[in-house]
Amino acid sequence: FNDVFKKVEMEGLNEKALSEFESRLELLDYKVPFPKQMKVSCDDELAEASRVLEFPVVMKINSDEILHKSDVGGVKVNIRNYEEATAAKKTILRNVEEKAASAQHDGILVQEMAPQGLEMIVGISSDAQFGPMLLVGMGGIFVEVFKDVAMCPVPINKKEALEMLEGLQSFKLLNGYRGSEKSDIEALTDLMVSVSQYAQQNRNEIKELDLNPVFVYPEGKGVKAVDALIVKY
């Protein structure tokens, strides 16, 4: 009974979060550029991942009950070899055991580490009146402090995606500013349209989606979504 109660409490009004692994699976058909990854749950699988993936890698706890992985010490970046990977696995599991003892988890994600880009947030938030809304903003203080986000009901096309970006205070930073390179706005608007299509085709199930952060690279170099979280109804 206690378990059932816990689940109901956690899921609120029947809301169900998906792990990062499951969230990425949902988006499989939508051409979202993610870093290459493998999910491991033992040292043999970790060794296999070390052979297949290119270092440096990032390792993260994979759980549908841990939605902010860093908050519980569940993310380790810049892991350079197999020895560091085995140590990181231990540390992550110990941290999670300590800070989220009751949370179930489903393995550890080993991801190729994407080079740093301009950090953006691309998301979906469902609204009773408008249905799913696409949301975009520049990560970090721009969203959190300045509330510099653009929102638009889905579906959106590429032109509308560009208009959303142009409406941001932070657009100047994307568009090349005082010698800083112009970002791959083409790839970013493609990503926004893909996320919009996913939300449109799953309108009645999607409560929330967060790609946070999305790294945006200079023109021609694309984008990478290095985290994914979907909450369903």
Evaluate whether 52 touches 44 at the Cβ level (below 8 Å): no
- Which range of residues in 12-20, 36-44, 165-173, 224-232 is near Mg ion by CB under 5 A? 224-232
* Cβ closest to ligand ADP, residue 77 vs residue 103: 77
Which one of 92, 134, 213, 225 is in contact with ligand ADP (CB under 6 A)? 213
- The reply on whether position 227 binds Mg ion by CB under 5 A is yes
* Cβ closest to ligand ADP, residue 100 vs residue 193: 100
Helices (H), the chain: 2-11, 20-26, 43-52, 82-99, 141-144, 158-166, 171-174, 185-201
- The reply on whether position 207 binds ligand ADP by CB under 6 A is no
| Dihedral of alpha carbons 70, 115, 111, 26, sign | positive
Dihedral Cα 21, 116, 141, 232, nearest 10 deg: -10
Q: What does the per-residue mask of binding to ligand ADP show for 57-96, with x meaning CB under 6 A?
A: -x-x-------xxx----x-x-------------------
Beta bridge partners of 137: 121, 149
Q: What does the per-residue mask of binding to ligand ADP show for 24-63, with x meaning CB under 6 A?
A: -----------x----------------------x-x---
Evaluate whether 157 touches 193 at the Cβ level (below 8 Å): yes
Q: Where are the beta strands (DSSP E) in 24-155?
A: 37-40, 57-61, 75-79, 108-112, 118-127, 131-138, 149-153
The count of other CB atoms within 10 Å of the CB of residue 100 is 20
Rounded to a whole number of angstroms, the minimum distance from the CB of residue 72 to ligand ADP is 9
Residue nearest to Mg ion (CB): 227
Contact set with Mg ion (CB under 5 A):
212, 227
Residues forming contacts to ligand ADP in the complex (CB under 6 A) are: 35, 58, 60, 68-70, 75, 77, 111, 113-114, 213, 226-227
